[in-house]
Amino acid sequence: MAVKKMDHVGVYVNNLEKALTFYQDVVGLDLKDRFTIANGDVTLAFLGFNGSDETELELVYGGNPNLPNEGKVNHIAFLVDDINEEYERLKGLDVSFIRDEVGTLPNGYRNFFVHGPDGEKVEFFQR
C-alpha cells in the first residue's frame, strides 16, 4: 500500500498553554482534542484547520525533557493565500521574525519564517 498523505506532525513543547495560544491565535489552528497519556505524565493536544482531518499538528508536553536535538522537526510550514497580507498581519502581533522580509525561492514560492513559542521555526508560504 502506498502512502496517501501526511497525517500529522508532532512537536515537543516546554509550555503547552503558550504553544496552544500561539498556534490558535497566531496561526489560526483549532484545538481538536487534548488528553493525557503515560499515567498523566504526557499531555497531547491536536490542532487542525476547520475541523478537517487532513493534516494535524500534535503538541507533546511532558515526558522526557532531555531529548537530543537530533530528530527534532526543523520547521512547520503553513500554506497561505496572500503572503504579503499574512506577513503584515503577523507584524502586528507579538511574533519574533527570523528575517525581516518575504523571500522568494528558486521555484517561485514566496515565504517567511517566525519563531514559535519553543524556538521552533514556523514557515508561512505561498505557491
Whole-angstrom distance, CA of residue 111 vs CA of residue 93: 18
Residue 123 is a catalytic residue: yes
| Interatomic CA distance for residues 96 and 114, integer angstroms | 6
Alpha-carbon gap, residue 82 to 125, rounded angstroms: 9
Catalytic residue, chosen from 56, 85, 88, 123, is 123
CB distance 122 to 116 below 8 Å: yes
Query: Residues with catalytic annotation?
Result: 123
